[in-house]
Amino acid sequence: MLKIVMALAGAGLAGTAELPSHTTPLSVVPAEQVAVFAGGCFWGIEGVFEHIKGVRIAESGYAGGTTKSPTYRDVTSGRGGHAEAVRVYFDPAVVSYEQLLHVFFAVAHDPTQLNRQGPDTGIQYRSAIFYATADQQRAADSYIRQLTNAKVFKDKIVTQVTPLQTFWMAEDYHQDYMKAHPDQPYIVYNDAPKVEELRKQFPALYR
């Protein structure tokens, strides 16, 4: 069990809460796995996962909609139903999918905010897990039940768990955006605190 205090503005945790580690192991562990998460602006989600040991690369993109080859303008308009998402390639021998789920719910975003995240509103900023395998679906569903039963968050978890159809890469200027623009006010206020929480709460995973 991990004591955490959500320092981010608007966090949905019920004060100081016990955020349990995931307890359901995946049955198959290949050499490399891919996970896709959405939880607000992809700059911050990407920035968090890039700081996790065992993550080879995190890429910003779009998932969950119907528009083919969507542009940023398409997604921000809400047309096509895509969410800003991040694709994570990781080595399960170093970091497990369950640990990525733990980070996603603990520091990467607030899973109780419906179709918004912080200052950003719209379905493109929804909380979602796009699973690539049946094992990932079971792990995500199980962890959400675990968090719900433990009453970790004061409000209902609204994270969608849905199959990954296609991940569309975002434009080049969105990739590694947090690294390239560390002093931008949006990054400083909304995203840098998430990475700092990762460092504090998950020192063994942080790099």
Q: What amino acid positions are annotated as catalytic residues?
A: 41
Q: State whether residue 117 is helix, strand or coil.
A: strand
Rounded-to-integer distance, Cα 162 and Cα 149, Å: 21
DSSP 90-109: E-TTTS-HHHHHHHIIIII-
Rounded-to-integer distance, Cα 27 and Cα 159, Å: 23
Sequence-distant (6+) residues with CB within 8 A of 183 are none
Contact in structure between 78 and 122 (CB atoms under 8 Å): yes
Strand partners, 206: 52
Strand partners, 159: none
Residue 140 CA to its chain's centroid (Å): 12
